[in-house]
């Protein structure tokens, strides 16, 4: 079964690419990615640009879509990225989520109901 792990964190100033601090931060993520690949869990993943770069399209019945700058909702935590993983069951997906190397925040785990490109 496939699960989506959505990663929410409070906005923070990440170290600049090319610095030792950035390399140390990324080492944990690269190790986690390799763990997923080696374990046969990897499906896909992405890191997102900050929520401040978001544009929202809002739709409502009977009206034209509206476009606004900014994220959909004002929240303390923002969606920072995601993984789609293969896991035998929810318990295994939760263990994978616990190992996500985010320093602070939350990881929401949800079963994928339909993925049209799945093989």
* Rounded Cα–Cα distance for residues 68 and 119 (Å): 36
30 inside domain: yes
Domain interval for residue 12 = 2-111
Question: How sure is the predictor about 40, in pLDDT bands with cuts at 50, 70 and 90?
Answer: very high
71 inside domain: yes
Question: How sure is the predictor about 26, in pLDDT bands with cuts at 50, 70 and 90?
Answer: very high
Question: What pLDDT is stored for residue 72 in this prediction?
Answer: 59
Question: How sure is the predictor about 73, in pLDDT bands with cuts at 50, 70 and 90?
Answer: low
Residue 81: phi and psi, rounded to 5, are 170, -175
CATH code, 57: 3.30.70.1060
116 inside domain: no
Question: How sure is the predictor about 45, in pLDDT bands with cuts at 50, 70 and 90?
Answer: very high
Contacts (Cβ under 8 Å, ≥6 apart) of 89: 1
66 inside domain: yes
Cα dist from 29 to 10, 34, 37, 76, whole Å: 18, 9, 12, 23
- How many independent structural domains does the chain possess? 1
Question: How sure is the predictor about 57, in pLDDT bands with cuts at 50, 70 and 90?
Answer: confident
87 inside domain: yes
**Better pLDDT: 25 or 40:** 40
118 inside domain: no
pTM of the full predicted structure? 0.83
């Amino acid at each position: 079964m496939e699960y989506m792990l959505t990663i929410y964190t409070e906005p923070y100033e990440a170290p600049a690419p090319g610095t030792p601090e950035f390399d140390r931060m990324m080492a944990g993520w690269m190790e986690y990615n390799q763990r997923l690949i080696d374990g046969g869990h990897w499906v896909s993943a992405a890191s997102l640009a900050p929520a401040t770069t978001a544009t929202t399209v809002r739709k409502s019945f009977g009206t034209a879509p509206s476009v606004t700058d900014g994220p959909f909702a004002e929240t303390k935590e923002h969606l920072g990225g995601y993984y789609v993983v293969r896991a035998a069951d929810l318990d295994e997906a939760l263990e994978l989520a616990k190992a996500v190397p985010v320093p602070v925040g939350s990881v929401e785990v949800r079963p994928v109901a339909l993925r049209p490109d799945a093989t």
